[in-house]
Every structure is written in structure tokens, then in C-alpha cells.
Amino acid sequence: MASVITEPSSCDTFVALPPATTGSRIIFGKNSDRPSDEVQEIVYFPAASHDPGEKVECTYIEIEQAPETYAVVLSRPSWLWGAEMGANEHGVCIGNEAVWGKEEVCDDEALLGMDLVRLGLERANTAEKAVGVIVDLLDKYGQGGNCMESHMAFTYHNSFLIADRKEAWILETSGKYWAAEKVEEGVRNISNQLSITTKIEREHPEIRNYAISKGWWDGKKEFDFAATFSYVNTARMTTTRGRYCEGYKLLKKHEGTITAETMMAILRDKESGINMEGGFMTTGSMVSILPQETSLPCIHFFTGTPDPDRSVFKPFIFVPNITQLLKTSSPVFGPEDTVKKQPRFQTKPDRRHELYRKHESAALVMESSKEKGDMILERIRKLEKEKIKEMEHILQNGSLDTDQAVNLFSNCTDDEIQAYA
């Protein structure tokens, strides 16, 4: 499979930690920017125990399964196994980005970066442990394969932003080589370029020798990961125009007062390019509130629909007995799925879930009638504000009704569908 030269298109992931936020909370946010005709679904998988020797079939390859996997909620392109972003029952959140650099991208089918997101969430109960899970899998199985449901190849390396109630980690890769940076306060974001410079807490044991062997680093000056493995001028990353810079400026603008609603507004920002439009567009969005007080629940908001400016951020809380989120789950095609059959991607099935279909119809109304479109927007904004207010009440009072939380996301999805009627 040969790569096609594609204009680098990626996403944006953000994290804000005290004192940048209001209250003792960490706020995580991500836009998933993908091909505009791709459906993103919101799915839930419960915790599970697995037999020794059991395998798990990822998007392209089969790997060894872990003895135990944690409950996860995922926002993912509906054709693949992994996820663009998600959270687990322990308050770990992960988002990934496509990155390119000097190291050639491998077209061979291995683990996708999106597979690594899901595997990190299923196997790690802290952000730091997730770093370890991902780099161990990267070393054992490698990363590679087509990242788009098409016979045309779209391949890239991956970066990850991983957060929990305590801290965040940036993990960036170039082939099998990687570096990780710990973030304990303030704001940080990643986009479609390497961003770790000289602040490196962990790294691939051979990365410096490899850089010297390639002539990318002289072994004398301070080791700068982004400068060594990419073509980016690291001295200008936060001052030159581009989504990484624009996202950083938006975070800094609100530093000290960042809430979940602030993060949602950043993800909806079109002028910056963060809310992307065109052939690649924002097809799903996520915002999470991670209270540092462990007695309070983490709350994860997902859209499951394109363009966050015309979508509802719906809350999800991990509690026992959650069932699958049917109205945001795409049809399943089993062994007949064109992703599974060789040669892959010869046809593309209709993967739209119920919420996607309703949102798609409403978007057409919004484009054809300003009056009707404004009415729909007013209804969905009101619904979102009500849910945010309810979640804030839970966080302020610690009054979580687990029976209601079981269907929290599903009921909000029903309300959103009704708002589009």
C-alpha cells in the first residue's frame, strides 16, 4: 500500500489544570477532524476479565489481550476498532493527533494510533500508566496502516494527550521512537505537529543514538525532540499562525477561568480553524471534567455528530449497569464489513447511526431556512445548558443518583433527537 501525499489534516486536543481552571478540576477537550463523510459513533464497553492466551482483534492486527480491561466510553470513526478519543472508569482521558516528520511513515498494517488510544484506556488506571501501555505496545507491534476508510492511503505517526485527575502527559511518536512530557499545571495543547521540545520526562532508550546516526542531532547541544524529528522551527511554534498556535492562544486567553463551557467554546471556534470545515471537518468532539477530589465523579461530554457549533455536548458518567448507547452506535456488518475483506475498502457501507441521521436532516434545515435553523439551535443550546447545569449541581453537592446516571447519555440523546424534530 503506497501513501498518497495529503495536506496534513489533524485534530486538536487540549488540557487545562489548576490554577488555569476554576475549582480543583482538570478540563480535557478534543476535536476529531476527519473526512467529512465519515461517521463518528459514541460507544461504551464494560470492564471485562479475559482468559490466559486470549487475543483481541484490533483494526488490522490481532494482539495479546490483557487479563483485565477497564470500562471505556469512546468516540470513534465507526469503521475501526480503536478510537479518536475517550475515557475510562478511572478518569483517564486520551486523544490522539496525526503528526508527520523526518521519519518515514510505515504503510504496513500494524496498530493504528486510534487502536493505541483504546488500548491505553482499557489497560491503564492513570495517565502515566497509559504512557507505559502505549509505548510497550508500540515497541512490540509498531504503528501503521491506512487511517481512512478508502482504497487511497492516509498514514501518519501519532501524538497523544493523556490526562487523569492528577496530571497530564504528552506522548509523541516518530515511527517506533517517542518522547513524553509531564504536565502538572497550567495549559497545554497538541495539534498536527510535534510539540515536545527539551522538557522530556521519558523517552525511547535508543532515541538519541538513532538521531545521531541519522545526522539529525550532533549529540552536543541540548536534545530537542520536535526540532530533531520534524521540520518545525520550535522557537516559533507558539507565535506562528496555525491551529497549534491558535489553540494555545485561546487557552492562554482564558487561563485562570477555564471551565467545561470554556473548552466547548474553544472547540466551536471556527475563525482559528479548530472547528474545521471542508473535506476534512470536525466530525466529533469531547470535553471532560476531572475533579481532583476523588469522591466526585468525572463527567465526559460527547457530541457524536459533526460540527460542535451545531451539536449538543451530552454528559456521560461511569456507573454500574450501563448498557450500550444504541442511538449513537453504528450498524455492525461483521465478517462482511469491507474493512475486514481483502482487498480492503472496495465499497463503503452506510454507517450512519440514528442520532447522526437526525442531526444530518436538521443541518439541511439550518442551511435552507435561517428562521427554522435558529429555532433548532435555540432548542439544542437550551438542552445543553440544562445538562451542564445539572452536572454542575452534582459536582457542587456530590449528589449523584446512580440510577439516573445509568441512562444519562442515552436520555440526553433522546432529548436531542426530539429537539431536531
Which residue from 254, 261, 270, 307 is spatially nearest to 285, judged by alpha carbons?
Answer: 307
- Residue in 11, 245, 298, 412 annotated catalytic: 11
> Distance between CA atoms of 66 and 159, rounded to whole angstroms?
23
What contacts 108, CB < 8 A, 6 or more positions away?
142, 144, 145
Q: Reduce the DSSP state of residue 157 to 3 states and report it.
A: strand
Which ranges constitute the DSSP H helices of 179-242? 207-213, 225-229
Which residue from 299, 373, 302 is spatially nearest to 41, judged by alpha carbons?
Answer: 302
Residue count of the chain: 421
CB atoms within 10 A of CB 396: 10
> Distance between CA atoms of 276 and 398, rounded to whole angstroms?
36
Contact at 8 Å (CB) between 149 and 79? yes
> Residue 138, Cα to own-chain centre: how many angstroms?
18
Residues pairing with 35 in the sheet:
280
**What DSSP element (H or E) covers 419?**
helix 408-420
Catalytic annotation on 106? no
**What DSSP element (H or E) covers 388?**
helix 370-397
> Distance between CA atoms of 40 and 17, rounded to whole angstroms?
28
Give the residue numbers annotated as catalytic, written as ranges: 11
